[in-house]
Amino acid sequence: MLNCPRRGLVMAMPSDIEAKTRATTPVASPMPDAETEARRFIDPSGKLLQPVTKAWAPPEQLERLYHAMVLTRAFDEKAIALQHTGRLGTYPSSLGQEAVAVGIAAGMAAEDILLPAFREHGAQLWRGVAMLELLLYWGGDERGSDFKKARVDFPVSIPVAAHFPHAAGVALALRLKATRNVAVCVGGDGATSKGDFYEAINIAGAWKLPAVFVVNNNQWAISVPVHAQTAARTLAQKAVAAGIEMDRVDGNDVLAVLDAVERAAARARSGDGPTLIEAVTYRLGDHTTSDNARRYRSDEEVSRHWIEEPIARLRAHLTNTGYWTKEREEDLHSQCSAAVEEAVAAYLATAAEPPSAMFDHLFATLPAPLKRQCDLATAEATSHD
């Protein structure tokens, strides 16, 4: 099968206006000013700014979060290498955004339902999706969406914001079933520029649905910066129009993201309705492997944000406490590398499905036009055997 991710088109802008906007408007910093402060527990130097909740205070728990982020980055690096050598389809890196994904998943209950966009590899891994399954999906094999463990979680959503209304529907279903579970939906800053986003948070607010909407604000919707998408001072403020709670956190601080999701989920479980969380971070890599971010932003801009990246931040904190050592660090990287290589070996050894598999889950009985296409695809594949 071919991997053909469908790109959600965020917005179109005439080239002259776009050029003028970039030339006259500075790129927004992911670290906000005092009027729009994002909550954080750990600063970029690793200094603890406020007490951590009892459940996550032990260093062993912080190590779990650190391990998950390091594993996510190791997987990310390998996936990009596979794509560059023609063994994986178009792939979206989560470089620099690991704290958002891991923090979201760590803040959820096991029975909650995750509706990811396409950059939440760390959240999926935390919740039990296998690296082999992720590789199969990004290699164009839909068997990768048939999760063995995370059975209630939704698959990757490539079209921008299309899954936000789905999250509202899931939350309604959870309400009707009288469960205490919560739907957690994740999208990028570009998702907040789509009608699907507004429709979802509006109906979720009107019906007080048990939902948590997280905006992974990495400052760029492909090549469109946040300031060109909206005049709002923050994306969290978009919750006001929907009449729902809002929160804004430092998306490079895994503890801040975790805390925000835990708080929002607790409100939803108590019947107090949905929350919109903005996690302010920065996309250190290209939008996907088919993108070249140097066409629209400078290396100097990217370099400024490396000092805020989440893995170095938590490592600094663990080191400052005396818990983390060079030996532990080396051992962790060895473990993660071995786990990734094992998954890659299994992926490369997995036989591809026949072309007819793309028709398997569309209809109980294929309509005649699709049946003809399926037969033609099968015949073409057989002629090359």
Catalytic residue status for 283: yes
* Active-site residue, 73 included: no
| Residue 311: half-sphere exposure toward Cβ, Cα within 13 Å | 20
3-state SS string over the chain?
A: CCCCCCCCCCCCCCHHHHHHHHHHCCCCCCCCCHHHCCECCECCCCCECCCCCHHHCCHHHHHHHHHHHHHHHHHHHHHHHHHHCCCCCCCCCCCCCHHHHHHHHHHCCCCCEEECCCCCHHHHHHCCCCHHHHHHHHCCCHHHHCCCCCCCCCCCCCCCCCHHHHHHHHHHHHHHCCCCCCEEEEEEHHHHHCHHHHHHHHHHHHCCCCEEEEEEECCEECCEEHHHHCCCCCCHHHHHHHCCEEEEEECCCHHHHHHHHHHHHHHHHCCCCCEEEEEECCCCCCCCCCCCHHHCCCHHHHHHHHCCCHHHHHHHHHHHCCCCCHHHHHHHHHHHHHHHHHHHHHHHHCCCCCHHHHHCCCCCCCCHHHHHHHHHHHHHHHHCC
Which one of 119, 127, 248, 287 is the catalytic residue? 287
Catalytic residue among 180, 296, 328, 333: 296
* The pair of three-digit structure tokens given for residue 1, joined into one six-digit string: 């099968």
Is 121 a known active-site residue?
no
Out of 283, 305, 313, 317, which one is annotated catalytic? 283
Per the structure block, which two tokens stand in for 290?
């088919």
Query: Rounded CA gap, 75 and 58, in Å?
Result: 26
Q: Among 337, 372, 310, which residue's Cα sits nearest to residue 103? A: 310
Tell me the catalytic residues.
Answer: 283, 287, 296
